[in-house]
Amino acid sequence: MRIDILTLFPNMFSGPFDESIIKRAIDRQLVSIVIHNLRDYTSDRHRIVDDSPYGGGPGMVLKPEPLFAAVEAIRGEAQIPVILLTPQGRLFDQRAAEELATYDQMILICGHYEGVDERVREHLVSDEISIGDYVLSGGELAAMVVVDAVVRQLPGALGSEASAGEDSHASGLLEYPQYTRPQVFRGWGVPEVLLSGNHAKIARWRREQSLLRTLRRRPDLLERINLTDKEKRFLEKEAAAGSR
Ligand code: ADE
């Protein structure tokens, strides 16, 4: 996979992309990430990327020319998804991460200031993504969040092939509680079942814990997933016990 990122602040990306899973995915050539400074795609002496809004008002708006020039230079004749990071976009979630992970290439545009010229939205961008209902100072942190969630989906990006599938949200449920050594810490033990060596029993306990945790913390998620009749009965019983 190749990801091109257009930004006014290329230095923001060093650090997050130089560590851990993203670094390993880059080293293993599962992904290449190219950061472009938007100013490199200006054609005036002052390398101007923004201007005041027509009609007046505060702040600055990103000009269309450098964005079109950058995207056209990167994609040539190819059809590549162009994604604008903006609080006005569709909400990013695990499903969206899985969808983006199927692309061979994508271009991410980090918006800034008061926004981007609307013609960019209408004629250049194919998708708009928000990482949550709050306003960041720019799309850079949002782009890093998207890249991280997408890259960890790529086969081989994680140490063990199974890990991505067991993340919270991968199944549509929150993840079950995890424990590691010591077996007793400050007097607090580990659930017996995890020490039993009985893998079927452990799998059943984990599934129940995922269901319970999701019921208690994010009941909205339960509406979107397919549960067995047995799981539905289990949750109904727990929900009834919880409301008593
Ligand atoms: N840019 C500013 N805020 C944002 C958000 N919540 N998501 C994506 N891009 C943004």
> Over the stretch 167-184, which tens digit does the pLDDT of each residue have?
778 889 999 999 999 999
β-strand partners of 36:
6
Range(s) for CATH 1.10.1270.20 in the chain? 184-243
The pLDDT of residue 165: 75
Compute the average pLDDT of residues 222-230: 94
Compute the average pLDDT of residues 183-189: 98
Q: What band does 162 get if pLDDT is binned at 50, 70 and 90?
A: low
Please confirm, yes or no, whether 98 is among the known catalytic residues: no
Contact 16, 143 (CB under 8 A): no
Which is catalytic among the residues 114, 148, 175, 238? 114
Please confirm, yes or no, whether 114 is among the known catalytic residues: yes
Coil vs helix vs strand at 190: coil
Give the separation between CA 78 and CA 72, rounded to whole angstroms.
9
Ligand 1, pocket-test mutation among 100, 108, 131, 141, most atoms within 8 A of CB? 131
Compute the average pLDDT of residues 236-240: 95
Pocket of ligand 1 (CB under 6 A): 85-87, 111, 130-132, 134-136, 138-139, 142
- Buried b or exposed e, range 6-33, using 16+ CB within 10 angstroms: bbbebebbeebbeeebbeebbeeeebeb
2-151: in CATH 3.40.1280.10: yes
Contact 234, 208 (CB under 8 A): yes
What do you get for the CA distance between the two ends of the chain, in Å?
51
Which one has a higher pLDDT value, 185 or 164? 185
Looking at every residue in the chain, the average pLDDT score rounds to: 95
Compute the average pLDDT of residues 17-22: 92
Compute the average pLDDT of residues 53-80: 96
Which is catalytic among the residues 93, 99, 128, 167? 167
Please tell me the least confidently modeled range out of 5-14, 106-115, 174-183, 196-205: 106-115
Compute the average pLDDT of residues 36-40: 98
Compute the average pLDDT of residues 95-113: 95
Give the separation between CA 143 and CA 63, rounded to whole angstroms.
20
Q: What band does 161 get if pLDDT is binned at 50, 70 and 90?
A: low
Q: Which of 113, 27, 23, 119 is nearest to 71 (CA)?
A: 119
Amino acid identity for residue 173 in this structure: L
Residue 56 CA to its chain's centroid (Å): 35
Compute the average pLDDT of residues 200-225: 96
- Taking only Cα atoms into account, the Rg of the chain, rounded to an integer number of angstroms, comes to 23
Please confirm, yes or no, whether 87 is among the known catalytic residues: yes
pTM of model > 0.85: yes
The domain 184-243: what is its CATH number? Answer: 1.10.1270.20
> Does residue 156 have a pLDDT over 70?
yes
Compute the average pLDDT of residues 226-233: 95
Range(s) for CATH 3.40.1280.10 in the chain? 2-151
Task: Report how far ligand 1's centroid is from the alpha carbon of 92 (Å).
Answer: 10
> For residue 153, what are the CA distances in angstroms to 24, 127, 149, 207, 214?
13, 20, 7, 22, 22
